[in-house]
Chain A
């Protein structure tokens, strides 16, 4: 049995792919190429930092019916479903509010053309205003869509489906910290996914395992990464759609496990917005498997459910 790993930069973050297989190196190489190609195509299609991406073109034509690709359509449908099931706590129209709060571009996104991707003068609208047709979609004239984390989750799920049909005894994929794993590591060990300490990223506070070998998706959301000060007011990148301002929250980071990466990502974000109580509600409803919350308090504190699958 051999373990192969590849790392590269895409989607504005680090991508890590790890495969465990009895097959030879050439086989792993083939899969790596397949995955990196898919990620590259996804980025070309959905990055709002690329002026010719389908997403940018779509946002440029807000207010009119626009023909979209099947993948775009699927992502819109998933976004709408999750927005409805979270009572609007997840909202793909949040981009203008995020930019108004102060987040215009990431350090690594030198491709950002602010003149084109500046949506500060547009408005955050409700999900009902997203109209999805057979092969087209329409958003209000003064709005803009961003798939942000949900896009990474969606892509992870798709890649996981691809890998589950391959001759692998285990794999894990990480897109900028969102992870999906399945099967086993060398020597039939469970995959152990470490959770960073929100106050000190060099420290690990806990681990999550896929103890049955089943697919396990893990996402962490929080207010510790993209944040800053605008006009003397601090901001972070988790926007509460109800107030259209950075969420006032008791949570520093929320780590969530689910059977799908797209769910893990969305619910982790919603928990940060709605607070610790909401995590327990989601757990009771069965939409997430487990959670670990690092609280925004003077004394470092944790709330966690049973981690792992």
Chain B
């Protein structure tokens, strides 16, 4: 756990706040990658609140502040909005693999639905600060033109970083108050995506973050155009209603969970993520060993598998013709085999 305190709270859109935290002591600071998230909690009338996950908005280059943005959509986030400067916030993490891999992702399209912009802000800020020439295109969908978190900053970042382009989609109402060249009325549709991508779907890596329905729609569109599934990386969140553990504290309870990642309960998710991250930190041959014991074929479409730090595949032609189980396994494993490609080192 890292001990932080509130530095400031700022409303950046009608229903969105930017929470800026400072580490209490230098040792409470931690390294993170753009796109990762943390779990936070705080003391609410002297009692610990539940923990909730939020993507980090700030760039890792900003080593004095940790910024999180959240939509005010429940008691948890509304309670955060009431915090005052100096109040303690407990931070766990960072977590997640929703990060750009410089080796694999050389032309990136970020697709955000509403507050799904948060992990992308960290990526775009970092890329601009580091002056990376990584081409980044942001497709950012919001309901109303008057409620676009980080709109001005994104325009500024576009001016600063010639490799970054943003396109704003407004699903309800006009776009007359926005920059004409960058704004499109309506949802991100197949036709619009086609125009932007120019039918060259497999030239890009897609990072998608938004509500579940939004993410699913975009994935369906990309799949329709035979986009390589390993080029589609998603992070979902959605409002939900779950009673939290503070029900014993009358009037002080926070009864709605407004944000969750990966669909699991938070405590379990944190535990699992920590274990997975730990496992990924050390190159292992688990996948081969497990294959020997099981006929379960290794999936090639799982993004989490693709993002692992260490994977092993085995191609066994000797056994493929004599054993049906091996044959089935071998076919999948052959797909996983990566042939040698020389690239700029």
Contact = CB atoms under 8 A, between A and B. Distances in A.
Contact of A227 (B101, B104, B133, B339): B133
**Contact count band on A:** 35 or more
Contacts of B343: 176-177, 196, 201, 220, 225
Interface stretch (B41-49, B73-81, B268-276, B314-322): B314-322
Contacts of B311: 6-8
A interface SS class: strand
Interface in B300-316: 309-316
Interface string B91-135: 000000000111110110000000000000000001100111110
Contacts of B11: none
B318 A1 contact: yes
A221 B104 contact: no
B284 to A, nearest CB: 9
B132 A107 contact: yes
Contacts of B283: 6, 8, 32, 36
Interface residues of B, number: 46
B102 to A, nearest CB: 4
B342 interface: yes
Contact of A194 (B102, B106, B127, B340): B340
Interface in A5-32: 5-9, 13-14, 16, 18, 25, 28-29, 32
Contacts of A208: 342
B342 A255 contact: yes
Contacts of A177: 341-345
B314 A3 contact: yes
B244 to A, nearest CB: 33
Contacts of A28: 314
Contact of B313 (A4, A14, A224, A265): A4
A7 B340 CA distance: 12
A41 interface: no
Given A2-B314, A2-B315, A8-B283, A106 B340 contact: no
A178 B318 CA distance: 30
Interface stretch (A55-63, A89-97, A184-192): A184-192
B203 interface: yes
Interface string A185-229: 011000111111010111010001000000000111110111111
A110 B310 contact: no
A110 B31 contact: yes
Contacts of A36: 283, 310
Given A16-B338, A177-B345, A25 B314 contact: yes
A253 interface: yes
B131 A230 contact: yes
Interface in A269-305: none
Given A2-B318, A29-B288, A202 B202 contact: yes
B60 interface: yes
Contacts of A196: 341-344
Nearest to A232: B162
Contacts of B288: 4, 25, 29
B312 A4 contact: yes
A253 B344 contact: yes
Given A110-B33, A178-B345, A202-B203, A228 B132 contact: yes
B31 A174 contact: no
B338 A7 contact: yes
Contacts of A175: 345
Contacts of A191: 340
Interface of A: 1-9, 13-14, 16, 18, 25, 28-29, 32-33, 36, 102, 104-108, 110-111, 149, 152, 172, 174-179, 181, 186-187, 191-196, 198, 200-202, 204, 208, 218-222, 224-230, 253, 255, 265
21 contacts: A1-B318, A3-B315, A4-B313, A6-B283, A6-B285, A7-B310, A8-B283, A8-B310, A14-B104, A102-B131, A108-B101, A108-B103, A110-B31, A176-B103, A194-B341, A196-B343, A201-B107, A202-B203, A220-B345, A228-B132, A230-B131
Given A2-B317, A228-B132, A265-B345, 17 more contacts: A4-B315, A8-B283, A105-B130, A106-B102, A107-B127, A107-B130, A108-B101, A149-B345, A152-B345, A172-B340, A177-B343, A178-B342, A194-B341, A196-B343, A222-B344, A228-B133, A229-B131
